[in-house]
Structure 1
Amino acid sequence: MRPSEADDLPCALVELDAEGRIVDANDVFVEWTGLTLTELTGRPYASLRRRITAIGGRSDRLVRLANIDGTERAVIVDSRDIVGGQRLALVDATERAEREEALMRTQALQERTRNRLQLIIDSSIAFSGATTEQELVDILPTTVAKAYQAEQAAVFLLDEFGGFAQVSGSNPLRSVTEASPLVAAASGLRHVLTVSGAAAGDDVTPVLGHAMRDSGVDAVLVAPIQHDDVLYGVFVAFFLHPRQFDSEAAPLADALAGQAAQAITTLRLQRKLEHAAMHDETTGLPNRRRLETQLLEYERSEAALVATLFIDLDGFKRVNDGLGHHVGDLLLREVGERLQVAVRAEDLVARYGGDEFVVVCEVPEVEAAQEVADRIRRSIEQPFTGLPDGFPISASIGMSLARTEDPGWNPDRLIREADHAMYSAKNAGGNRVVGSAA
């Protein structure tokens, strides 16, 4: 038995039998547990303590002692073997435990920060490696799901009509309609939106709350994909388990969304520059450079008869000089539109330069090429919008034909021969088609 002076000690004392059950305890131990000595006697000591994970790992000495009122006290335990069991001395270690736990939280935060930093670096590399916008948005959902341990993720981009369309990932809400309130809320707020629980979804909109309950989604995180105030869309992480978001959730989402937006900006700029390099600014048609590139692609066609039509506008100089370049540009634009209507969608229509256009198409026979040229000529001689009387417009068209299987197939020669034929048509008075078989 413990000596009577044990009740006067500032620490708790407890004696255990060989099986770890409490045999005796001093008043401090009784006070710390909230149980009477009678209630403690015979009770397993292990049922009253919970180990605390210390900085170096698990510690049998630093534990939490439970009180009947539900509270716990951090204590340091010193044990000594005695006959038939053990005697334990427990010293209050509240301050030490608080320091240990603070350090553990700091370490955990540092680890999460390192992991998230590495994730941002990895995603930056992945995004920069994407060569198309679709490839980029296909990478993003996987990255987001991994970053937040979300079951599913999806990307929604603004379409040409100002609405949002899902372009990659999976959406457990089953439809864009059910997700649209969430997407609209995040895009309107222009900052990261988190929703934990269907009740919080009701606060966004009852439609969202109902959709979350119906689909089993417990939480969502939505981040706008924007760069320099230009909104491209949002990404959404869906959680099929309860999820609360810490203070780092939004900054990480901002970082990922920012990287994606920067990559989209770069890809769209590249696409715009590539389009500008290959298309005419006035008409939007392929330019001379694009024409030469696409003509080479006809070499892949087997035994195809290719017609090249070189078109020069009769009367265009009078319009440009008499009515101004603005009217001339409008006329060129309408000519381009008429040419596209006069041929098939797969045929090539290009602006060669000035008031010259080129049409390239595969035809089954020479007569078919002549029909296309005549159709274009008739289309061009029709009255043009905004042109006053006295400014007639027509077309001088030169035509060359060649088969891709011919050993002498040469796109440059096709253009040159069609050009020469066009001058023959012009010298003959214009508004006609002159052919030159290759």
Structure 2
Amino acid sequence: MKSALRFHALLLIVCAALVGCGGGGGSSSSSSSGSGSTPSATAPTSSTSSTSASNTTQSANVPQSTTPNVQLVTVGVSPGSTRNMLTTSVTVCQAGTSNCATIDDIQVDTGSNGLRILASALPTTLSLPSIAAGGGVSAECAVFGSGYAWGSIRNADVRMAGQQASSIPIQVIADSALPAAPTDCANSGASLLTVSSLHSNGILGVGLFPVDCGNGCSNSALPRWYYSCTTSGCTATAQPLAQQVTNPVSSFPLDNNGVVIDLPAVADAGAASVSGSLIFGIGTQSNNTLTSPNVLKANAATGYVTTNSGGQTYVVSYLDSGSNGLLFHSTQFPLCGFWYCPTSTQSASASITGIDGVSSTVSFDIANSSTLFSSSNNAFDNLAGNSSQGFGWGLPFFYGKRIYTAIAARNTSAGQGPYYAF
């Protein structure tokens, strides 16, 4: 998530479908809010152990639900042929009506919060009301690791599985009703305003927080956040919590305390496609029971945990389905452009530690990226790249696991979020 103290971690490094990445490229998030974007035919290469197994104590304050809560997610051929992109379909409706549209190729991102959809993906028959702000209309600059998305804030009903988030603020990216992005926003990296640059029709942020900024934006006007726009231009403005882009899961009537991403393991050489589940709620139904002892509390302001690996300590660390590789800085492995490309697959280990000191030890592999990209596969659990911004446990880490992302201040069977569990 991105906020006054959090960042959008979404980071996608694009490769052609049948060839490797040439020349590198890729950026890391510079925003101050939590954001984020991952293993073989025999068994997943990651294993875990934990210093504590006491976090699964049931809470008496978790409302139970029978509402359908399983959303299909897939990894396959995505717009722009980006590898390791987890996507789903989201239904958006004019609030309180049956005027709806289902939008495919929406990226699932546990490193940000809120729904963002390209204006070009929405039918002209779907009229979503704008939100007023300071004598104009509300707009936002959403800064991700790979660039910025500029768009209007509009109200909509959001439907997935059997769930509905009613009348929540979403971002409509590249809305022609807005002036051009302000200078401070446009200077935040590459523009993510088209399918070819965003590599999807939008982003579904199902991260650790109920809104994308929080009290920082409601208390004061912050640069590269919310704006009031008129025909003459846009001015940074404070944004009430109720009008900030909202994590749809947090607004479900039930099953609203977090998500589980359940993906199968993939072979060392990768897989052409993968299908899995995005399950809403933690400990609210039999299919989202938390049984893992690895519950890692995240910083309540930033969403970060700490990773130790290869003799380095990364205090900026996060689990992010919206990054398409394991992202960290290391001098141990050669680089081919942005991606690591050791001559043979290398095994490594790390410990991930929550703010309460609970730690989990994991193992992971780093394969030759050029070899991976020379195949026609799209899902890899051993793709890793260079990053100067901490340690991002991107989508490769999610294969072969059930990974829980608990929303801040919501009760779960392992206590209140924010936390990650696997």
TM-score range, shorter chain: under 0.3
Q: Which has the higher contact order (CA 8 A, sep 6+)?
A: 2
Give the TM-score of the pair, scaled to structure 1: 0.21
Structure 1 or 2: more strand by fraction: 2
Q: Compare CA radii of gyration and give the structure with the larger one.
A: 1
Give the TM-score of the pair, scaled to structure 2: 0.22
